[in-house]
């Protein structure tokens, strides 16, 4: 599994985890994050790779900040993402 796949899998599991903990349904998450229910469903099912602004919208609803959303990310993923961000790559 490459970095992108690992990160996507982690984001999906984090969305599901926080939604369950807070008792937020997919339609409620969609409404609060100003996204469509279909968008949320496609992210969770792995059909769509979310853009950064989409992740930010979801993170704000589920955890209040992007930092808190990513606080449990695996160290290997975090290190690789940081390297990628620090390089000349653009999403």
Structural domains of the chain, with CATH? 3-85 (1.10.260.40)
Amino acid 58: pLDDT:
96
- Average pLDDT, consecutive stretches of 10 residues, N- to C-terminus, the chain (91 residues): 83 95 97 97 95 93 91 80 64 49
Amino acid 87: pLDDT:
67
pTM of the predicted structure, to 2 decimals: 0.83
Amino acid 88: pLDDT:
58
Amino acid 25: pLDDT:
97
Dist CA 11 CA 74 (whole Å): 11
Amino acid 55: pLDDT:
92
The count of other CB atoms within 10 Å of the CB of residue 42 is: 14
* Ramachandran sector of residue 46 (left: φ over 0; alpha: ψ -120 to 50; beta: rest): left
């Amino acid at each position: 599994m490459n970095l992108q796949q690992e990160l996507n899998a982690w984001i999906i599991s984090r969305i599901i985890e926080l939604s369950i903990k807070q008792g937020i349904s997919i339609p409620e998450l969609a409404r609060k994050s100003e996204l469509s229910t279909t968008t949320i469903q496609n992210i969770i099912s792995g059909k769509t790779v979310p853009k950064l602004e989409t992740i930010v919208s979801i993170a704000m609803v589920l955890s209040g900040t992007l930092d808190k959303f990513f606080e449990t990310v695996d160290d290997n993923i975090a290190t690789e993402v940081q390297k990628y961000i620090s390089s000349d790559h653009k999403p």
